[in-house]
Amino acid sequence: MKNVIKISLLALMLVSGSVKAADELDVKVSQKKAITIELNNLSSSSVLLFQDKDGNILFRDSLELNGHYKKTLDLEVIPNGVYSISLEGERSVMSKQVVKTHAGLELTNAPAGILFKPCFEVKEKQVTVFLTNPGKKTIYFDVYDAQGIKVSTLTRREAVIQKRLDFSQVPSGTYTIKVRVGGRIFIEEFDLG
């Protein structure tokens, strides 16, 4: 019961923090070939990314805490295609999609996506991974040893994930956990000695 309460509180904390970030990402088509991005009252240091469909970063900007931010990006010279604007905060990533065609730019009607980042807790030779997954997407956990050899892969689809990984029976050293969700990879290294 105690674990259920902890997980519920973690999920509530992550959701409430990300909903605030979602309210702050305002994207408008300001001309046929430009977009304006406006952010207000950032609650933590964030990074703004503009990427193509392959994940190539075309624009990146680090944002200050509690600041006002406004930027117009002229997209006339980029090829037609699907692009994403992401606001990456401490615990979540909020994204909106932009489509460029010969007729101009359009923000898609799809709801903005919110992707939560995993949290890690290390106690002795055990690593607990916490992750909120409201869309119940397939989450992959890949574990690598110090030589970069994959030693384990786990898959989960629950809305709230708390997975404890026990390293007590393996040699001491540096291990890497890659969490793959929604086309993103989050990497965390641990020295378990």
C-alpha–C-alpha distance, residues 25 and 95, integer Å: 9
Residue 53 lies in a domain: yes
Decide which of 12 and 168 is more confident: 168
Burial readout 159-177 (b: 16 or more C-beta within 10 A, e: otherwise) = eebbbebebeeeeeeebbb
State yes or no: pLDDT of 20 exceeds 70.
Answer: no
Is residue 102 domain-shared with residue 125, that is, in the same domain? no
Owning domain of residue 41: 24-115
Is residue 99 domain-shared with residue 166, that is, in the same domain? no
Residue 60 lies in a domain: yes
Place of tokens 């409201």: 134
Question: How many domains, in total, are found in the chain?
Answer: 2
Q: Domain containing 84 — which CATH number?
A: 2.60.40.1930
Q: What is the pLDDT of residues 114-142, one digit of tens each?
A: 788 899 999 988 999 999 988 888 999 99
Is residue 134 domain-shared with residue 85, that is, in the same domain? no
Strands (E), 135-183: 139-144, 150-156, 160-166, 173-181
Is residue 132 domain-shared with residue 100, that is, in the same domain? no
The residue type of 112 is A
Last residue of a domain, one of 98, 115, 132: 115
State yes or no: pLDDT of 68 exceeds 50.
Answer: yes
Least confident of 16-25, 111-120, 139-148: 16-25
Is residue 125 domain-shared with residue 184, that is, in the same domain? yes
